[in-house]
Amino acid sequence: MVTAESGVAGGGRGAAALLREVATARFARQVVLGRWFMVFACLLILSASGATYIFGIYSKVLKSSLGYDQRTLNTLSFFKDLGANVGVISGLINEVTPPWVVLAMGAAMNLAGYLMIYLAIDGRTARPPVWLMCIYICVGANSQSFANTGALVTCVKNFPESRGIVLGLLKGFVGLSGAIFTQLYVAIYGDDAKSLVLLIAWLPAAISILFVHTVRIMPYLPSRRRRADGELEASAATSNDAFFCFLYISIALATYLLTMIVVQNQTNFSHTAYVVSATALLLVLFLPLVVVIKQEYQIKKELDDSLREPPTVTIEKPAAAAMQMSAITTKPKTETPSSSSPAPAPPSCCLGSCLKHMFNPPAQGEDYTILQALVSVDMLVLFLATICGVGGTLTAIDNMGQIGQSLGYPAKSIKTFISLISIWNYAGRVTSGFASEMFLARYRFPRPLMLTAVLLLACVGHLLIAFGVAQSLYAASVIIGFCFGAQWPLLFAIISEVFGLKYYSTLYNFGSVASPVGAYVLNVRVAGYLYDVEAARQHGGSLAGGDKTCLGVQCFRKAFLIITAATVAGALISLVLVWRTRNFYKGDIYAKFRENTATDEATTNGNSADTAAEKRSTLVNDEDSKKG
């Protein structure tokens, strides 16, 4: 009995001591300035940056309020996709400025663009011309590329050895953002699609401004610590354990959203019930903060343990070796006479050298320049495959409301599978990110081959829409949402691996340009045009005034047969990239990060040893003063 009571008392004292250690201003500062809080901030920013994926919910309000036909609506959709994916400007800005500049600019663009759209559809301003609405939605959607560049690219550079996991996780939260917006807007404003546009205007801007100074580039120093059994493991600062915790929380969030969407569409929810469900959603959304605090406490504990360990002589050997290597590498430079330096080349030679350098890229995996990457065969092949793959799935997502309407699905069912596309989008992003990283690490399975498999799977969803199989739109929305999401982490990971991270901000955004190109061809020129032709035939050969709705499976049949053929072509094109990168993916593509880190540690270990000795002596002096 005494033992049990003493154990409880000891546990209580330990918990109290832990609480006192954590609940300090110093530890709070460590958490806020730490690497993992930066990841948490990026998760929140990106969970509010996917408003373009719920265009299908408020597109009918745009069409009815402003009197657009389907082709005009698809033109607006194209400019939305153009703004969301043409982020080269944000990439170039991010190359020369810190991430907070890009995030602040994105917040301002988001607020301006979507607020003007809300004022137009709510009748608070005069009806704008179509070209002006295209500018509004392009500017508002372009803020998504600024958020992605500022947050996602920064995370990839901070965790280069876990880029597949990082891309899958962060892009997964982008995929969930549509369902998150749907839950929040009905809790705040009620079931009003116009108010959804207002929420899209202010919420992402507010979150970006809140965390604008949290997101920043941090030095990557993957360290290893020795466990009690003698084995080495990654330190808490760079371990993947936290990412898997974030993954489990995101799965719980997706499951919760899936359950609430289905339940809300099967029963009549009161406004109070929507508020309660949204509150629970926010609690799950902020749950990663617990993981952040846990990781930072482990970092603090590892640092304290390292300061109490006795110094060893082995830390001086790498420093000596590094000094010898630096002496060897600098010796030829000192022996070279200054008179042998070449004269400056004329401008014509510089231009010829620049062109020769542009068409003479380094080996795959090294840092390409922007021009070397843009003119490379690998980028061209990847660009064409993305045009076909992402363009087709994006066309299906943007037209999902009209597809369901033409096939005779109830309005409540249409809203359900449009909302669930966000869940399948999330599932595709997370699965492709984590699975491709695991397959690459264990089996050297190349990411381009996984991209080929995703494109072939998307063809199944397109064919289900084309033939209008009874009750198949649910399955089609699952397949298309999954495949659309799965393509993005694979695309961005392939770009970072093949072309390097030095100019990743720009190259990442250039890869996104393929999406609006494919959407314009397949959505506006193919799906929108063929839909209006069939609608005109059903309404007496003209769409002037009156109802512009097309009914029947024939409304989208020809369009999606063409989209299926284009996607198959994209899969065949991607096989070219599989062949060209086969030797690259057979090797250890992350070896250079570990080698660079080992070199940096070797050159700094001497100084680190002196610093650690000073800190240990400070701790001893503090303890002696306390005893005195």
What the block records as the tokens of 229 is: 């059994």
d(CA 448, CA 389): 13
d(CA 111, CA 89): 18
422, 153 Cβ separation under 8 angstroms: no
Whose tokens are 């005069």? That residue is: 126
Query: What is the reported pLDDT for 528?
Result: 87
- End-to-end CA distance of the chain: give it in Å, rounded: 39
Query: What is the reported pLDDT for 226?
Result: 54
Q: Angle, to 10 degrees, between the axis of helix 271-285 and the axis of helix 241-266?
A: 170
Query: What is the reported pLDDT for 200?
Result: 92
405, 414 Cβ separation under 8 angstroms: yes
Whose tokens are 């409301």? That residue is: 401
Query: What is the reported pLDDT for 560?
Result: 96
- CA distances 133 to 66, 70, 114, 124, 136, Å, are 10, 15, 10, 14, 5
* Number of neighbours of residue 577 by Cβ within 10 angstroms: 25
Query: What is the reported pLDDT for 604?
Result: 47
Whose tokens are 């953002």? That residue is: 177
Query: What is the reported pLDDT for 312?
Result: 56
Query: What is the reported pLDDT for 387?
Result: 94
179, 146 Cβ separation under 8 angstroms: no
Query: What is the reported pLDDT for 450?
Result: 95
- Return the bridge partners of 233, or none: 225
d(CA 601, CA 322): 9
Report which secondary-structure segment, H or E, holds 233. strand 232-234
Q: Is 471 left (phi over 0), alpha (psi -120 to 50) or beta?
A: left
485, 420 Cβ separation under 8 angstroms: no
Q: What torsion do the CA atoms of 574, 576, 581, 585 make, to the nearest 10 degrees?
A: 50
Query: What is the reported pLDDT for 624?
Result: 52
d(CA 483, CA 459): 10
Does the pTM exceed 0.85? Answer: no
SS3 letters across 337-386: CHHHCCCCCCHHHHHHHHHHHHCCCCCCCCCCCHHHHHCCHHHHHHHHHH
Query: What is the reported pLDDT for 619?
Result: 43
Query: What is the reported pLDDT for 193?
Result: 81
Question: What parts of the chain have a pLDDT lower than 50?
Answer: 1-2, 229, 232, 316-317, 319-342, 601, 604-616, 618-620, 622-623, 625-628
d(CA 423, CA 344): 59
d(CA 197, CA 381): 37
Query: What is the reported pLDDT for 573?
Result: 96
CATH fold, domain 34-218+235-308+363-589, is Growth Hormone; Chain: A; (1.20.1250)
d(CA 552, CA 554): 5
- Backbone phi and psi for residue 233, each to the nearest 5 degrees, phi listed first: -140, 160
Domain ranges of the chain: 34-218+235-308+363-589, 590-628
